[in-house]
């Protein structure tokens, strides 16, 4: 019998030596079997194993069981691609190819992900960004529309190519990498003074999400736990981040269809939610709040009362603002049946977060892999079944409601005690995978420590990495003029993807 993957839990450090090292077929079979039984690939990445070999680590997440499984295998120049049988890994395999020059043999569409220089040798040159094979539809009446990387609005850079027939889109290919900063390379050898700041700016709008994932990872490595009060404040901050971003997205969706009342209401309300985070830590995006061992700022009773009042007012207004959307036929005509992603596609490609829940998949790390305060205070998973722009908007509105309730509950019953604990030394030669439900979806951090307890590899998977393909597929058969609306309904991060 072949060795089984190592079963583990969210944010649990295990010795790297315990992770089974499988052969080519075993590795493949183990992943495909797990996926057929309901797991999905949360992370798949390479780490040099010496002697010119690369060790591939795979993190499998089973939402039903709430368990993680780790497995690995060593490869030299190439390995058999899994992408044809398990499409969810296609981008991971392209990433491995780009970072380490190891070829996933038989990959259906092998090309750069971020146009980053290989991690193998220092000083290696990157391929020229944006220069790659793009899928093309040939024919007299087919035309290609290329947008970006420079856009008319103040947004992040990305390149989009549409194969169109009049207004209809046959295919969209998205080419990113313009925001690549080399964060994973910079994190290796840490943690040091800079680490937390790199983490907080992995994706600026998911500061809390990434910071919580990072701190849980460090705490797992140190075998310690943050104080209960810190967990509660982290939970509040995480949900405030969700509130601010969901509100902003609902407003932006309204703005994209030219519906001004909700757009302007939500613009103001997003600011109110951001200011509530600022009232806790002085930064609207929550920079400097979450720290290894707890949080850097307490929420005193007076501040808590103030926040409760502000929250109640903001929640009342947001109900009115989003209610307008569902009551306005011209808005619903734009939202419904636009950019539909089927549940099958979602499950095959392993989308996460709002995009998955809008396809009727009840996938939420707060429920499936609870950490911190979410072990004690559950947030209901909000889903909708239609998979269109409306579903993604409606799930956001539902989550706004439940996040508001969660924050209110936490503020009313903050555990007593300190908010920051000193962390002991980190254990050497460990691996830990941490999943946190950021506002966009599952944030996955995987840390490997060396013999001194320092990061030998720190892998970050932003939810956007899973979901960009979803946007491309949502556009098939749509009108090209609906792209901005579909794009906004996913609202994916460029820098979170590009790292």
> What residues make contact with another protein under the rule CB under 8 A?
143-147, 152-153, 166-167, 254, 256-261, 263-264, 328, 330-331, 333-334, 338, 479-485
Question: How far, rounded to the nearest angstrom, does the alpha carbon of residue 275 sit from its chain's CA centroid?
Answer: 24
| CA 379 – CA 391 distance, rounded (Å) | 19
CB nearer to another protein: pick between 51 and 327: 327
CB nearer to another protein: pick between 1 and 154: 154
Burial of 286 (0-12, 13-18, 19+ CB in 10 A): buried
Q: How far is the CB of 481 from another protein (least distance, A)?
A: 4
Closest to 434 in 3D by CA, of 288, 242, 220: 220
**Please, are residues 396 and 379 in contact by the beta-carbon 8 Å criterion?**
no
Q: b or e along 308-330 (b: 16 or more beta carbons within 10 Å of the residue's beta carbon)?
A: eeebeebbebbeebbeebeebee
| CA 361 – CA 344 distance, rounded (Å) | 10
Calculate the dihedral angle through the C-alpha atoms of 301, 305, 308, 314, rounding to the nearest 10 degrees. Answer: -130
**Please, are residues 470 and 341 in contact by the beta-carbon 8 Å criterion?**
yes
Q: How far is the CB of 153 from another protein (least distance, A)?
A: 5
CB nearer to another protein: pick between 160 and 458: 160
CB nearer to another protein: pick between 267 and 415: 267
Q: How far is the CB of 355 from another protein (least distance, A)?
A: 20
Concatenate the DSSP letters of all residues of 87-122 into one string.
GGGHHHHHHHHHHH--EEET-TT---SS-PPPSSST
Rg of the chain on CA atoms, in Å: 22
Q: How far is the CB of 164 from another protein (least distance, A)?
A: 8
Residues ≥6 apart with Cβ < 8 Å to 476: 169, 170, 171, 172
Q: How far is the CB of 163 from another protein (least distance, A)?
A: 12
Q: Which residue has the tokens 């583990």?
A: 8
Q: How far is the CB of 150 from another protein (least distance, A)?
A: 11
| CA 326 – CA 335 distance, rounded (Å) | 10
Q: How far is the CB of 318 from another protein (least distance, A)?
A: 16
CB nearer to another protein: pick between 110 and 147: 147
CB nearer to another protein: pick between 268 and 375: 268
The two structure tokens encoding residue 5 = 């993957």
| CA 455 – CA 202 distance, rounded (Å) | 17
Q: How far is the CB of 262 from another protein (least distance, A)?
A: 9
| CA 68 – CA 371 distance, rounded (Å) | 13
Q: How far is the CB of 464 from another protein (least distance, A)?
A: 20
CB nearer to another protein: pick between 193 and 481: 481
| CA 487 – CA 499 distance, rounded (Å) | 20
CB nearer to another protein: pick between 19 and 252: 252
Q: What is the DSSP letter of 45?
A: E
**Please, are residues 437 and 443 in contact by the beta-carbon 8 Å criterion?**
yes
| CA 350 – CA 344 distance, rounded (Å) | 10
CB nearer to another protein: pick between 119 and 321: 321
| CA 185 – CA 165 distance, rounded (Å) | 42
Q: How far is the CB of 239 from another protein (least distance, A)?
A: 28
**Please, are residues 239 and 400 in contact by the beta-carbon 8 Å criterion?**
no
CB nearer to another protein: pick between 101 and 271: 271
The two structure tokens encoding residue 206 = 């998911």
CB nearer to another protein: pick between 31 and 331: 331
Q: How far is the CB of 272 from another protein (least distance, A)?
A: 14
CB nearer to another protein: pick between 23 and 166: 166
Q: How far is the CB of 151 from another protein (least distance, A)?
A: 8
The two structure tokens encoding residue 454 = 């320092």
């Amino acid at each position: 019998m072949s060795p089984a993957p190592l079963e583990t839990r969210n944010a649990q450090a295990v010795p790297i030596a315990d992770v089974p090292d499988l052969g080519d077929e075993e590795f493949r079979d183990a992943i495909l079997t797990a996926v057929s039984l309901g797991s999905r690939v949360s992370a798949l990445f390479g780490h040099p194993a010496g002697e010119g070999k690369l060790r591939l680590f795979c993190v499998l997440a089973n939402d039903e069981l709430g368990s993680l499984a780790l497995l690995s295998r060593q490869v030299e120049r190439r390995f058999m691609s899994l992408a044809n049988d398990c499409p969810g890994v296609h981008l991971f395999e392209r990433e491995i190819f780009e970072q380490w020059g190891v070829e996933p043999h038989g990959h259906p569409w092998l090309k750069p992900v971020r146009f980053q220089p290989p991690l193998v040798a220092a000083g290696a040159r990157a391929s020229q960004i944006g220069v790659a094979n793009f899928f093309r539809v040939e024919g007299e009446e087919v035309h290609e529309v290329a947008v970006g990387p420079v856009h008319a609005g103040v947004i992040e850079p990305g390149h989009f190519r549409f194969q169109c027939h009049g207004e209809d889109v046959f295919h969209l290919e998205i080419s990113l990498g313009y925001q690549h900063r080399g964060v994973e390379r910079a994190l290796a050898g840490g943690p040091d003074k800079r680490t937390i700041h790199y983490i907080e700016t992995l994706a600026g709008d998911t500061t809390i999400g990434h910071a919580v994932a990072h701190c849980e990872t460090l705490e797992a490595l140190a075998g310690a736990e943050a104080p209960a009060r810190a967990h509660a404040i982290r939970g509040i901050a995480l949900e405030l981040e969700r509130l601010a971003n969901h509100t902003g997205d609902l407003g932006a969706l309204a703005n994209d269809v030219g519906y001004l009342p909700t757009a302007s209401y939500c613009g103001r309300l997003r600011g109110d939610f951001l200011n509530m985070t600022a009232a806790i830590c002085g930064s609207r995006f929550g920079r400097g709040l979450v720290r290894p061992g707890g949080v850097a700022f307490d929420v005193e009773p007076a501040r808590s009362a103030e926040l409760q009042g502000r929250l109640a007012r903001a929640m009342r207004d947001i109900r009115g603002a989003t209610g307008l959307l569902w009551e306005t036929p011209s808005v619903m005509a734009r939202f419904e049946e636009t950019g539909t992603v089927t549940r099958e596609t979602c499950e095959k490609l392993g989308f996460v977060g709002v995009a998955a829940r809008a396809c009727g998949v009840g996938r939420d790390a707060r429920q499936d892999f609870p950490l911190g305060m979410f072990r004690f205070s559950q947030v209901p998973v909000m889903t909708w079944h239609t998979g269109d722009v409306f579903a993604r908007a409606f799930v956001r509105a539902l989550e706004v409601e439940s996040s508001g309730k969660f924050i209110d509950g936490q503020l009313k019953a903050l555990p007593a005690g300190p908010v920051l604990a000193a962390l002991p030394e980190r254990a050497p030669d460990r691996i830990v995978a941490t999943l946190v439900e950021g506002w966009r979806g599952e944030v996955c951090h995987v840390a490997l420590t060396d013999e001194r307890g320092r990061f030998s590899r720190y892998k970050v998977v932003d939810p956007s990495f899973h979901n960009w393909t979803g946007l491309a597929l949502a556009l098939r058969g749509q009108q090209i003029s609906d792209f901005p609306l579909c794009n906004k309904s996913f609202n994916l991060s460029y820098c979170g993807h590009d790292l």
